[in-house]
Structure 1
């Protein structure tokens, strides 16, 4: 199954974030980074994540958004609470999701990684359909980018431990990795 078939199966909607650039020449895509996001923190089902990644977030909409002034950020995809997936940056390009980061001695993880955001918080369980969508998407990414192996799928906290804690203790790594191994 290619990404076009996956789009149909997962209701993968595409939006063109302005927050991306080209990867370094001859860069292998070899890491998958799992994140979480909610705006405002702990609130779901609104347009604020989309607005942030599209560069149109109204900073006056919530007092907590003041810290986001001037922030230019994106992910390759967001998996929402209902399991739907929205892609903001094509996988072959560099999304701005990892920030200052390092994996296996290699700096600037944005250069060689794909970033997937889960709509959620570090301390609230993710939904069953989010896990289902994440597993399907991850399997496809592992097929399309064979350098992404089980040991090269990490949380944001693993590549930026001084700065980040997501996807947090509410993310069930055993469930996710076991599902990846089943029928896959």
Structure 2
């Protein structure tokens, strides 16, 4: 996998309007792992694309009435089959972390890449997701060497507010190679 001008080659690309410019100096130095399913606990379908592009139908599921107006995004999403979708260029700031801090640095959106995995706090992620995640992390580390081993869960950067990627995400399955 290669990253060219902020976009990962060979992945599905679905641009979103929900991003802005990164603050200067430009410093991508963290990967944040998230978990998402829409509706909660249901996998597959187009609802995650719809959420990240602002087209979620509030009437498609009762849960959506409370989230359809959210302006949120992520850089990458990896579904249960390991298919990667990119919504925001890595050169831009995705809106995935909210109020957050990592090792004393606040506002993680400014310096991180967000990667959403299709899943829940209550079941394991798939081997195909870990394979795709490792390939993406390798490409990100090669392109943005400041990342090094700085990989955190959403729950790590927003404790008490977020629980994802949940206890079934296995950090030991991340490859140390880059």
TM-score normalized by structure 2? 0.94
| 1:28-78 per-position Cα deviation (integer Å, ceiling 9, x unaligned) | 110100001000001011100000001000011111112214210000010
- 2:101 is the counterpart of 1:133: no
Q: What is the match of residue 28 of structure 1?
A: 27
- In structure 2, what is the Cα distance between the partners aligned to 1:107 and 1:136? 27
- 2:152 is the counterpart of 1:154: yes
- In structure 1, what is the Cα distance between the partners aligned to 2:46 and 2:118? 11
- In structure 2, what is the Cα distance between the partners aligned to 1:100 and 1:82? 30
Q: Is the 8 A contact 2:56 2:68 kept in 1?
A: no
2:82 aligns to what SS in structure 1? coil
Gaps of 5+ in 1: none
Q: Which runs of 4+ in 1 moved over 6 A?
A: none
Higher helix share: 1
2:138 aligns to what SS in structure 1? helix
2:9 aligns to what SS in structure 1? helix
Q: 1:130 to 1:93 in 2, by over 3 A?
A: same
- 2:176 is the counterpart of 1:175: no
Q: What is the match of residue 7 of structure 1?
A: 9
Q: Counterparts in 2 of 1:1-184, with a 5 A limit?
A: 2-3=2-3, 7-8=9-10, 12-150=11-149, 152-176=150-174, 180-181=175-176, 184=178
2:97 aligns to what SS in structure 1? coil
Gaps of 5+ in 2: none
- In structure 2, what is the Cα distance between the partners aligned to 1:130 and 1:76? 16
Q: 1:83 to 1:55 in 2, by over 3 A?
A: same
TM-score normalized by structure 1? 0.91
| 1:116-163 per-position Cα deviation (integer Å, ceiling 9, x unaligned) | 00011111111110000000000110010001011x100000000021
- In structure 1, what is the Cα distance between the partners aligned to 2:70 and 2:2? 33
Count of matched residue pairs: 176
1:168 aligns to what SS in structure 2? coil
- In structure 2, what is the Cα distance between the partners aligned to 1:144 and 1:167? 24
